[in-house]
A and B are shown apart, each in its own frame.
Chain A
Amino acid sequence: MVDGIFRFLTRAAAGLTFLIVMGVLLALALGAYPALHKFGIGFISSSQWNPVTQEFGAAPAIVGTLITSFLALLLAVPLSFGITVFINELTPPWLKRPAAIAIELLAAIPSIIYGMWGLFVFAPWFAEHAQPWLTEHSAGWPLLGMLFDGPPMGIGMFSAGLILAIMITPFITAIWREVFALVPAVLKESAYGLGATTWEVIWKVVLPYTRAGVIGGIMLGLGRALGETMAVTFVIGNAHDISPSLFMPGATISSTLANEFTEAVGDMYLSSLFAIGLILFIITFIVLGAARLLLSRLRAKSLQSAAA
């Protein structure tokens, strides 16, 4: 009797989750329909965002979302790798726990605190000390000169990416530490026994063994970076422009929603906000889907090699 109820409850819970996801998707699609119907496929490529003439396009927000998230991964992945290897393999035992706890505490800080820190502490420091130096020394370089051009404001796409990197690092690190710890000691000790250096053990034994988990960790971080709202809104500068420089202000999908949803007057305005929400939903879905696909491929491959 209890077993029956228990089975029913678990099934209902699982079904409910699925229903909620479908419900959200449906609500977004219904809300987005008027805008998508009016602007068509051009909605994705248009960089117009004009509440006065009621003409909207999602390109600046999509580009801003992708660039800040990519920048965050670019900075967070090497950082997380260093932290994980240090804590798991290299720290003296007495430092292991404090270092691990410090990283986990970073994950517990609410995102708005990161935003405030970014705006009040990081941005002024960055504008005063780092930005002029970067602009000056990158001038004349082919790509870097363009990326680091612009007035030193401290806020902009670069700051947003950097704050995101700090935010997702503890998530990636936490997962990587778990999966690195799963590597059988026998494997590592055998490698050390053969005279491998720490670097060789990490690169040739630990990483191949944990490939799936490592990618999973990166994807989880990316998922968080794509959707992060408040911290980004504080430091990105909130302008609907696509500019080649990372020091110029931009906007992400979630920052646009946070800024404009409450005051969106007019049906087309509101519908366009729904439409970019739908696009974010789809981007996140594609990222997670791609991660799943990659993981299943890797798993199949490792099974094959194990069989051979």
Chain B
Amino acid sequence: MSQLFNRGVLAGTVLVLAGALSTVVAEPVTQINGAGATFPYPIYAKWAERYAQDKGVKLNYQSIGSGGGIQQIKAKTVDFGASDAPLKPEELDASGLMQFPMVMGGVVPVINVPGIKTGELKLPAELLADIYLGKIKKWNDAAITKANPGVKLPALDITVVHRSDGSGTTWIYTNYLTKVSKQWAEKVGNNNAVAWPTGVGGKGNEGVASYVSRIKGAIGYVEYAYALQNKISYALLQNHAGHFVKPDSASFQAAAANADWAHAPGFFMVLTDQPGKDSWPITGATFILVYKNQAKPDAGREVLKFFDWSYHHGGEMAEKLDYIPMPANVIKLVESTWQQDIKDSAGKNVWESAMVQ
């Protein structure tokens, strides 16, 4: 008995020693670690798969949410963080971080009203806010019928659906509502999560999508890709120029084209309610966060290399997954900012323009 016990102890000791040894040996950078937003996860995963084939460097991306991504990069447990909402320049400076936009997408209001086909219902800007404020309770409310002459709306209760988890999607959506409705701005405001005046909460885009498709009379908001994949009816929105537009890559690109990135310090740019007659009003970019002062310059360089490769070779993959790639002039701007701002502990540049692949 005691012999058996001793043997067990011996085996355990050997295992512990082996474990200790393996952590001592340093490894070259073959993997970069990131964490954050769930919205761009599908395209980051796609890029990572192709990049690993081409360059042999793996990306380990944990899609734990924008808030989690910001916390992880601040705790320095990852090489980069990812967030759907841009950080304010003051907040970036306070933590020594820089951010850059990686890819864009649109948020779409989806509805489930019997008898109403996709793209048939028009929602003037303030009407959407009034529905989410709980001021309009029936689908045949005078305000809705007035905006939709000729459309037969049922006397059905409106069930508002929103996200129950904090989310970059909610940030972009409430940013739009804050811009178009004074009452929304005063009463509720703009954040990853807000105190919703009414409605039910679904977890994640898929949660909202399934609630909307299951509850008759529901209205919700999801990323464009989820509306497409789940074949839920969407509504047309009125943009800043007063036109009713339908959500697709053309209208997202129109919104992005008018954005003035060069004059946005720290790339703090929100693409909601942009001018232009074709612009989709709820468009947003998703951002990457890295340290300006790289304690591990090798890993930092690999991160920049990966995103640079994605900028130049990933556009088509992004479009296939219903994302909008960044325009070429913005990519140039981001690369020159990398060269200027990102240094190692000795003050040397981590990124050189010659590294563009």
B-contacting residues of A (Cβ < 8 Å)? Answer: 1-2, 5, 48-53, 119-120, 123-124, 127, 151, 153-156, 233-234, 237-240, 249, 251, 255, 258-260, 262-265
Tell me if B67 and A238 are in contact (CB < 8 A): no
A-contacting residues of B (Cβ < 8 Å)? Answer: 1-2, 5, 64-68, 70, 157, 159, 164-167, 188-196, 199-203, 207, 210-211, 214-215, 217
Tell me if A265 and B70 are in contact (CB < 8 A): yes
Smallest CB gap from B1: residue in A: A2
B64 proximity list for chain A (CB < 8 A): 262
B166 proximity list for chain A (CB < 8 A): 51, 259-260, 262-265
Q: Which of these, A52, A239, A240, contacts B189 with CB under 8 Å?
A: A52
- Beyond the given pairs A53-B195, A154-B215, A156-B200, 5 more chain A to chain B contacts, judged by CB atoms under 8 angstroms and listed by A's residue number, are A2-B2, A154-B214, A238-B203, A262-B64, A265-B66
Q: Which of these, A2, A52, A260, contacts B5 with CB under 8 Å?
A: A2
Question: In whole Å, how far is A267's beta carbon from the nearest beta carbon of chain B?
Answer: 11
Given contacts A2-B1, A153-B215, A154-B215, contact A260 B193 (CB under 8 A): yes
Tell me if B189 and A238 are in contact (CB < 8 A): no
Tell me if B65 and A151 are in contact (CB < 8 A): no
Question: In whole Å, how far is A217's beta carbon from the nearest beta carbon of chain B?
Answer: 32
* Bound CA span A260–B66, Å: 12
Q: What are 21 residue pairs bridging A and B, where the CB atoms are less than 8 Å apart in the complex? A: A2-B5, A52-B191, A52-B195, A53-B189, A53-B195, A123-B214, A151-B157, A151-B159, A153-B200, A234-B203, A238-B164, A238-B201, A239-B199, A249-B200, A249-B201, A255-B164, A259-B165, A260-B165, A263-B68, A265-B66, A265-B192
* Bound CA span A237–B160, Å: 11
Question: In whole Å, how far is B300's beta carbon from the nearest beta carbon of chain A?
Answer: 24
Tell me if B68 and A262 are in contact (CB < 8 A): yes
Tell me if B193 and A239 are in contact (CB < 8 A): no
Tell me if A259 and B203 are in contact (CB < 8 A): yes
Given contacts A239-B201, A263-B68, contact A151 B195 (CB under 8 A): no
B70 proximity list for chain A (CB < 8 A): 265
B193 proximity list for chain A (CB < 8 A): 51, 260, 263-264
Chain A binding surface SS class = loop
A251 proximity list for chain B (CB < 8 A): 164, 201
> Which 9 interchain pairs have the tightest Cβ spacing?
A263-B166, A238-B201, A238-B164, A263-B67, A50-B195, A52-B189, A262-B65, A237-B200, A249-B200
Q: Which of these, B159, B192, B201, contacts A51 with CB under 8 Å?
A: B192
* Bound CA span A258–B64, Å: 12
* Bound CA span A215–B247, Å: 58
* Bound CA span A265–B5, Å: 50
A240 proximity list for chain B (CB < 8 A): 195-196
* Bound CA span A224–B210, Å: 27
* Bound CA span A120–B15, Å: 47
Smallest CB gap from B194: residue in A: A52
* Bound CA span A262–B66, Å: 8
Smallest CB gap from B190: residue in A: A52
Tell me if A51 and B200 are in contact (CB < 8 A): no
Question: In whole Å, how far is A113's beta carbon from the nearest beta carbon of chain B?
Answer: 16
* Bound CA span A124–B215, Å: 8
A259 proximity list for chain B (CB < 8 A): 164-166, 201, 203
Smallest CB gap from A49: residue in B: B195
* Bound CA span A249–B196, Å: 12
B200 proximity list for chain A (CB < 8 A): 153, 155-156, 237-239, 249
Tell me if B196 and A239 are in contact (CB < 8 A): yes
Tell me if A155 and B194 are in contact (CB < 8 A): no
Given contacts A52-B189, A154-B215, contact A237 B68 (CB under 8 A): no
Tell me if A151 and B167 are in contact (CB < 8 A): no
Question: In whole Å, how far is B306's beta carbon from the nearest beta carbon of chain A?
Answer: 24
Tell me if A263 and B215 are in contact (CB < 8 A): no
* Bound CA span A51–B193, Å: 6
* Bound CA span A203–B188, Å: 56
B215 proximity list for chain A (CB < 8 A): 127, 153-155
Question: In whole Å, how far is A153's beta carbon from the nearest beta carbon of chain B?
Answer: 5
